[in-house]
Structure 1
Amino acid sequence: MHPSPPSTERPPARDRYRWYGLVAIAFAVSLVIIDVTIVNVAVPAIITDLGATATQAQWVQEAYTLVFAALLLTSGRIGDRIGRRRLLVVGIGVFVAASVLAALAPTPGLLIAARMLQGVGGAAIFPATLSLINATFTGRERGVAFAVWGSTIGGMAAVGPLLGGWLTTEASWRWAFGINVPLGALVVAGLLAFVVESRDGDARPGIDVGGALLSAGAAGALVFALIEGRTLGWWAVREPVGDWWPGPLSPVPYLLALSAVLAAGFVAHQRRRAAAGRVVLLDLALFAIPSFRRGNVAALTVSLGQFGILFALPLWLQNALGYTALQTGVALLPLALASFVAGGVGGVLTDRFGAARTVQLGLVFELAGVSWLASVIAVDTPWWATVPALAVYGFGVGLATAQLGNVVLADVPASASGQASGTETTAQELGSALGIAVLGTVLFTELGRSLTERLGGAPDLVDAVRESAGGAIAGLAADPATAAVADAARAALTDGARTAAWTASAFLTLGLLASLRLRTATAPRDATPVR
């Protein structure tokens, strides 16, 4: 088997527009980041306005993740074949159209459906940005490019909570989605003006439809089971599921088993097609590259702790401490600003110590920041107490997130950028979905346990607070007859947020241990066979 040469359409090394193009690429993925951070802040308002339950609130965030994770591998491979810039532009178009539908949604169900469509667009955007950078920059420039990519994401993450909080407080949470229309138009203009098309010039004809269906099914079943486990029950049925599901056993273990079977079927299918010399969705030979294999394991583990805590924090700040959406955005600003700063510092550190060491340093900061945050979460926490903890955490996120992609893709041939970046992003999203599912379960389980203990029972009140994700606390506080219940609910929600933060700290510890095997890659980028 012979090495595959670089894509014939790869931009010239001295193309004077490639750095302008990098800005457009970074802002393209930042469109997704802004949306995620805005939604985090807007969730309490969505719950109140649409009458959503706690499970529906999780689905507003997780519906996007479900589709996003299920389509990443397929999208990355499509980008390799039809052109990564073309896929990126199409993805932004779908994302913007779905944002309009989300902004107009009259019910939680329709909002969740719109978020699923956003996931289709996001699945095209994220791997396309990574693979364009991987195909455009080499050597030291790659570390700088990934640092610019990461710092731009950090900057937009700073804008997101403030913009979302301001729009939600002064106008409506619906504008949190509507803002994507003008932003998307600006990004598309930049991509068309400055980014040169890139694709796998040696791609063979044919589409691995079976691989696409198996990978999407495996990822979708896994994420769905993780999201619904708390509601349906992890083993026995927690509450009546409906006429469509008989018996005492929950559908969740069946979905987990189905995911494992489909994943095994996907691997077997890819091996058979590769042995027959046919086109595959994912070249399993990529996992022979140590940096790629170990980087994906680290990406999965790190994401468990990185993103789950961002689901719990806005609920605690608004429903327990009484912050407005805008105040919540301001409170989360230290995290985003520190991430922005770290993105720039990361390039210098990577140039001196290598991407792997930069990732490990970032995880140390993340672990310290989340542990610090867990120690200061209380029902009477002053606004300034979370600032240094969130700043330390954000600095670590900025270092680790950008350079982890650099580690994973360092030895991957440019012609395989799409499928490789799709694999890495799939690992991140599965870790994120698992983190949100587990930390959401921890948050609401501890909330229910603590409130039941404080009230000495009162299951109806406990269910009302838990199912509203704490949104019912304001109403309870407004009625003198239930003011004491509101105080107990604030304390219980605080207990849940603190436990979720310590759980995130445990996940990040695992991520740090997994990252210790990472090494800065030195092998030639086109030395690995790709089918």
Structure 2
Amino acid sequence: MDTMVRRRWAGLVFISIAVALIIVDSTIVNVAVPSIVDDLGITSTQVQWVQEAYTLVFASLLLVFGNLADRFGRRRMLLIGVVVFSLASIGAALATTGDLLILARLVQGVGGAMILPTTLSLLNATFRGRERGIAFAVWGSTIGGMAAVGPLLGGWLTTTFSWHWAFGINIPLGIVIVVGVLLTVGESRGGAAGIDAVGAVLSVIAMGTLVFGLIEGRTYGWWTVDQPLRIGDWSWPGDLSPIPLSFAVSLVAIAAFIGWGVHRRRQGRPTLLALGLFGIPSFRNGNIAATVVALGEFGIILALPLWLQFALGFEAVQTGLILLALAAGSFVASGIAGALSGKVAPVRIVRAGLLAEIVGVVAVGFVIAPDATWGLLVPALFVYGIGVGLATAQLTGVVLADVPISEGGQASGTQSTARQLGAALGIAILGTILFTTTSGALASRLDDRGIPADQRDQVVSAVVDSAGGAIAGLEASPDTAAIADDAKAALSDGTKAASFAAGGFLVLGFLATLSLGRGARRDEERAPDATRAS
């Protein structure tokens, strides 16, 4: 193996670590959230925004930075992103309030948006033929595996040290990535001719208002005002909730974004979203599948750690060990996918993975109960992890199978955006299902006990606003121990509902893959990437 080949594969290692950095961070927080709730006293809505602030900015800016990377250098953009992400991690680790933590997560989202599309573009520009398939499999397996390793690492850091180290771990990882990429990865550029600034603004407005509505609907009311929106001394006027307006603005922004993109494309000008590529069936249908699959995959990761710690009483590190079954399944799947490479069509592997995910997450839903044991949960998570590994590792290759190499950068950004859009919606939708179901179930149980309405509402608000953190306090007092049992049962009901909803979305993702084919062309049959420069 010559020096260039060794350097290329070493570069894959550091690019994969860069992917691991942002994926681990997005999942490591889930296990740390209960400790953050106890330490900073954040509400359940802030719990969702700790995740959504990151994911929202991440999803909104992926296309922008994917295009900028094509113009100014993919390696350069990757390195800048790692630095921004690492500095924001310091801010998150030192945060003393929920608002400061959310702000740090916003900046982390900017750094993450610089990293993810450039890693995929660098692989697309560096590898060819069967090597590209292997590189994509490593990239995808890293996402699937790290999504489960994150909770274990987060649990260990939170239990042994504190939740602050769940963010502090990013600093040494960032240093390793910067040094490794500088030594092993060559610069590459694409043919981007400009940036669609209007499209970028419209996409941020569309995503921001959509996710805001999904998260805040249960707080401010889905139609009429339940709680007035206040910003400083200003208060939302009238009885109509701001949520319908938020959804309306999102719909208008989405329509304007599409219309603007079509207009620019007719003029021969670059667009933020690769609209022309959606004429390729594998690209179009693959992105639909990726969005729906991510919606089901990432949303459930929010609910499980809260249930395991607050309803079942596991410590953070124990929660991480349980979720390690998911990582083990994903790593097993990467070996299976590698053995099947070239023998079985990638789309069939994706479908098999999705079926395993559906079986696993539905099994998790049936296991969830206030008296559940980890022994039944681990096999279900293992099966789910196998599905995540198979589907995630192969779906990227399926989506990009028929995309011309010259448009790989924009296509990679679009594909990454589809995943992150699904992740953002998954956290928002399944988080809303989790807390709304928990609220309703707890109120019903307290009514059965004859608890007065004002006291019932106070207990429900305490449990839901703390994302379950108030259960331990209720359990500590003999006078409220029975109410604590009701709260555990209600949180279990909410988690079960979120699990079954995730399974439903994964079924939709599976159906979306039925229209996918093998791809009309193989990588080795395509023209060389004229835009690459070492």
* TM-score normalised per structure 2: 0.93
Q: Does 1:326 align with 2:317?
A: yes
Report the equivalent of 1:7. Answer: none
Taking a change above 3 Å as real, the CA distance of residues 418 and 236 of structure 1, as seen in their structure-2 partners, is farther
Taking a change above 3 Å as real, the CA distance of residues 278 and 386 of structure 1, as seen in their structure-2 partners, is same
- Which amino acid is 1:323 matched to? F
The secondary structure found in structure 2 opposite 1:199 is coil
Q: How big is the shift at 1:155? A: 4.3
Q: How big is the shift at 1:352? A: 1.4
Equivalence map 1:433-444=2 (5 Å): 433-444=424-435
Q: Does structure 2 retain, via aligned residues, the 8 Å contact 1:143–1:351?
A: no
Report the equivalent of 2:21. Answer: 31
Structure 2: give runs of 5+ residues left out of the alignment.
none
Q: How big is the shift at 1:100? A: 0.2
The secondary structure found in structure 1 opposite 2:207 is helix
The secondary structure found in structure 1 opposite 2:229 is coil
Q: How big is the shift at 1:173? A: 0.1
- Which amino acid is 1:212 matched to? A
Q: Does structure 2 retain, via aligned residues, the 8 Å contact 1:75–1:123?
A: yes
CA distance in 2, matches of 1:290, 1:14: 36
Report the equivalent of 1:304. Answer: 295
The secondary structure found in structure 2 opposite 1:307 is helix
352, 357, 362: which one aligns with 1:361:
352
Q: Does 1:178 align with 2:168?
A: yes
Taking a change above 3 Å as real, the CA distance of residues 522 and 141 of structure 1, as seen in their structure-2 partners, is farther
> Matched residues, percent identical?
60
Q: Does structure 2 retain, via aligned residues, the 8 Å contact 1:73–1:215?
A: no
Q: How big is the shift at 1:282? A: 3.0
Q: Does 1:214 align with 2:202?
A: yes
The secondary structure found in structure 1 opposite 2:343 is helix
Taking a change above 3 Å as real, the CA distance of residues 109 and 474 of structure 1, as seen in their structure-2 partners, is same
Q: Does structure 1 retain, via aligned residues, the 8 Å contact 2:67–2:192?
A: no
Q: Does 1:231 align with 2:222?
A: no
Q: How big is the shift at 1:16? A: 3.8
Q: How big is the shift at 1:287? A: 0.7
CA distance in 2, matches of 1:73, 1:250: 32
Q: Does structure 2 retain, via aligned residues, the 8 Å contact 1:85–1:195?
A: yes
Taking a change above 3 Å as real, the CA distance of residues 152 and 305 of structure 1, as seen in their structure-2 partners, is closer
Report the equivalent of 2:413. Answer: 422
CA distance in 1, matches of 2:468, 2:49: 16
- Which amino acid is 2:99 matched to? G
| CA-based RMSD | 2.1
Report the equivalent of 1:137. Answer: 127
- Residue range with higher mean Cα deviation, 316-325 or 492-501: 492-501
Report the equivalent of 2:497. Answer: 499
- Which amino acid is 1:488 matched to? D
Q: How big is the shift at 1:158? A: 4.5
Report the equivalent of 1:518. Answer: 516
483, 486, 492: which one aligns with 1:485:
483
Q: Does structure 1 retain, via aligned residues, the 8 Å contact 2:143–2:392?
A: no
CA distance in 1, matches of 2:371, 2:279: 52
Q: Does structure 2 retain, via aligned residues, the 8 Å contact 1:143–1:347?
A: no
Taking a change above 3 Å as real, the CA distance of residues 156 and 298 of structure 1, as seen in their structure-2 partners, is closer
Structure 1: give runs of 5+ residues left out of the alignment.
1-11
CA distance in 2, matches of 1:119, 1:378: 34
Taking a change above 3 Å as real, the CA distance of residues 391 and 486 of structure 1, as seen in their structure-2 partners, is same
Q: Does structure 2 retain, via aligned residues, the 8 Å contact 1:227–1:433?
A: no
The secondary structure found in structure 1 opposite 2:502 is helix
Write out per-residue CA displacement over residues 75-130 of structure 1, whole angstroms, 9 at most, x where no aligned residue. Answer: 11111111111111111111001000000011000000000000001111111111
CA distance in 2, matches of 1:371, 1:60: 27
Q: Does structure 2 retain, via aligned residues, the 8 Å contact 1:80–1:417?
A: no
CA distance in 2, matches of 1:341, 1:136: 26
- Which amino acid is 1:400 matched to? A
The secondary structure found in structure 1 opposite 2:224 is coil
- Residue range with higher mean Cα deviation, 303-312 or 176-185: 303-312
Q: How big is the shift at 1:15? A: 4.0
CA distance in 2, matches of 1:263, 1:13: 48
Q: Does structure 2 retain, via aligned residues, the 8 Å contact 1:103–1:176?
A: yes
Report the equivalent of 2:140. Answer: 150
Q: How big is the shift at 1:13? A: 13
344, 352, 357: which one aligns with 2:343:
352
Q: Does 1:99 align with 2:66?
A: no
CA distance in 2, matches of 1:209, 1:437: 27
CA distance in 1, matches of 2:212, 2:412: 23
Write out per-residue CA displacement over residues 45-87 of structure 1, whole angstroms, 9 at most, x where no aligned residue. Answer: 1011000011011111111011111111111111111111111
CA distance in 2, matches of 1:222, 1:285: 25
Taking a change above 3 Å as real, the CA distance of residues 278 and 509 of structure 1, as seen in their structure-2 partners, is closer
- Which amino acid is 2:297 matched to? Q
* TM-score normalised per structure 1: 0.93
CA distance in 2, matches of 1:489, 1:384: 23
Report the equivalent of 1:63. Answer: 53
CA distance in 2, matches of 1:298, 1:157: 19
Q: How big is the shift at 1:233? A: 2.3
The secondary structure found in structure 1 opposite 2:195 is coil
Q: Does structure 2 retain, via aligned residues, the 8 Å contact 1:368–1:393?
A: yes
Q: Does structure 1 retain, via aligned residues, the 8 Å contact 2:95–2:101?
A: yes
- Which amino acid is 1:115 matched to? R
Q: Does 1:509 align with 2:511?
A: no
Write out per-residue CA displacement over residues 141-184 of structure 1, whole angstroms, 9 at most, x where no aligned residue. Answer: 22211122233344434432222111111211001001100011
CA distance in 1, matches of 2:261, 2:218: 34
179, 183, 192: which one aligns with 1:189:
179
- Residue range with higher mean Cα deviation, 106-115 or 258-267: 258-267
Q: Does structure 1 retain, via aligned residues, the 8 Å contact 2:67–2:195?
A: no
Report the equivalent of 2:471. Answer: 473
